[in-house]
Amino acid sequence: MDLRLKKYAKLAIRQGVNIQKGQPLVINAPVETVELVRYCTEEAYLAGASKVDVIWADDKLSKLHYENVETEILKKVSQWRVDQHKDSIDNKSAFLKIVSDIPGNLKDIDPIKLREVNKEMSKAMEPYRYYTMANVGQWCIIAVPNKEWAEIIFPDLKGDDAVKALWEAIYKSVRISNDNDPVKEWDEHNEELRKHNELLNNYNFKSLHFKNGLGTDLIVELANNHIWAGGCDLTQSGILFNPNMPTEETFTMPKRTGVNGKVVATKPLNYQGKLIENFWLRFENGKVVEYHADKEEEALKNLLEVDENSSYLGEVALISHESPISNMNILFFNTLFDENASCHLALGAAYPNNMKDGEKMNKEELLAHDCNVSMVHSDFMFGSQDMSIMGQTHEGIEVEIFKNGNFCI
C-alpha cells in the first residue's frame, strides 16, 4: 500500500474541503478511485463529518449513454437528481470532487448532442451554482490518474507504468512525499500565496510590464479596484478551504481595454482537442490585432472569434518559474495542472470576484467597469525562466515584481 494515498485523502479532507464538526460531505468520484474515496470517508468521519454521501461517476458509462440514448431522452434531467443536489446544499454540505477525465473521451459524439445535453444539465443546476461560485460552502477539486490519460501524457510508457508515472507527478504537484506532512506543507504554501496577494493588493498597481528573451514585451493595465487572489479561500461564514489542489497562482483582472504589446506563449494551448503550438499575440488597446501559430493557427483563430470579447484578456496570473509543477516540465492536458505551471493569461471572461463588488454586477456593469465578459475563458502560458515583471503604481513608482522568472518582492 502506498502511504501517500492516505496522505492525499487527509490533505483533501483537512486542507481541501476542511470539513467541520457536524457538517455533511458529498464526494463526487469516478468508480476507479474507490480506495481513495474510502480513505477520504474515513478521514472525514475522524474530522467529525456528520454524514458522507458518495456520488459515483464513470467516463466510459457517460460515453455509452451518449452513444445509445436519444438526445431528447438524455437531455431530460431527472427531478431526483436536482432534489439530491438541493438537499445537500440545504444541509450546508462541503463538496469534494475527484476528477479523472479521459482526454478526448467524447470526441466522436455529435457536438450538437453534447451541447444540448450539457445545456439542460447546466440549466437545471443553475439555481444552486451560487453555493460554490460565491463560496457559500467549502468545495475542493483534486485529480487521480487513469490509464488513458496517463498514456497521453507519457507516450513512451504503457498501462500501469504510465499510471505510476502520473501518480508520481500528481503527488509532487500537491506536495506529498513519503516523509513529509502535506497538511503542514500546505499551511506554509498558503501563507506564501497570501503574502503575495497582500503585497500586490497593497501596491494597487496601475500596470504590469512583462519582458523576456523570447520577445514578450507586454504592458497589462489592471482593472480599477482589482483584487489579487489565489491559494486558500474563505467561505461566506469564514471557513478556510482550498478549492483547487494543486494551486500555485496569484491572479487578478486585467483592464479590458488596457493591454498593449506582444506576448509569446511558452507552452502549447490545448483548445477543443487541438494543440496550438509556438504562437504569439499582439494587443492594441486590449484587443488581439495580430497573431501567429506554427501549428493549428486555425484553432487559434476560432478561439479569438468565439465572440467579440474572446480576443480580449480576462485574467493575468503570476507563478514563479521555480514551482513543483513547472519544474516537472510536463504537459498534463488538464487545466487543474497546466495553468499552475507558468505565468499565464486567459483570453475571454474575467472572474467578477477579482474586482471589488464585481460579483454584484451584471454583464453590462462589468463591461462598463472594463471587466471582460465572454463565453470562453482559455488560459495560455507565457512564463519563462528569464521573465521580468515591473509594476507601475498610479503615482508612477516602478517596483520589480519578478526577476529571472521568480517573485522578488
Please choose, out of 36-44, 111-119, 154-162, 307-315, the segment that lies near Zn ion by the rule CB under 5 A.
307-315
> Does 350 interact with Zn ion (rule: CB under 5 A)?
no
Among 396, 384, 394, 379, residue whose Cα is nearest residue 345: 379
Burial of 143 (0-12, 13-18, 19+ CB in 10 A): buried
- Report which of 83, 73, 91 is spatially closest to residue 127, judged by C-alpha positions: 83
CA–CA separation, 96 and 263 (whole Å): 36
Rounded CA-CA distance 31/183 in Å is 26
Least Å distance, CB 25 to Zn ion, is 27
- In the complex with Zn ion, the residue whose CB is nearer, 30 or 231, is 231
Q: Which residue has the cell 464585481?
A: 358
> What is the closest distance, in whole angstroms, from the C-beta atom of residue 88 to Zn ion in the complex?
27
- Residue 317 within binding range of Zn ion, rule CB under 5 A: yes
By beta-carbon proximity to Zn ion, the closer residue of 318 and 330 is 318
Q: What is the DSSP string of 125-136?
A: HGGGTHHHHTTS
Q: At what angle do helices 3-11 and 182-203 cross, to 10 degrees?
A: 40
Determine, following the binding rule CB under 5 A, whether residue 379 of this chain makes contact with Zn ion: yes
DSSP state string for 196-239: HHHHHHHHT-SEEEEE-TTS-EEEEEEPTTB--B-S-EE-TT--
Q: According to the binding rule CB under 5 A, does residue 221 interact with Zn ion?
A: no
CB-wise, 163 or 303, nearer to Zn ion?
A: 303
Interface segment toward Zn ion; rule CB under 5 A; list 122-130, 163-171, 188-196, 312-320: 312-320
Of 251 and 279, which has the nearer Cβ to Zn ion?
251
Of residues 221, 233, 248, 315, which one binds Zn ion by CB under 5 A? 315
Cα–Cα dist 233/33, whole Å: 26
Q: Which of 151, 248, 338, 339 binds Zn ion (CB under 5 A)?
A: 339
* Number of shown-chain residues binding Zn ion (CB under 5 A): 7
Instruction: Give CA–CA dist 133/152, Å, rounded.
Output: 31
CB of 21 to Zn ion, least distance (A): 33
Nearer to Zn ion, 235 or 247 (CB): 247
Interaction of residue 59 with Zn ion, rule CB under 5 A: no
The binding site for Zn ion (CB under 5 A) comprises 249, 251, 315, 317, 339, 346, 379
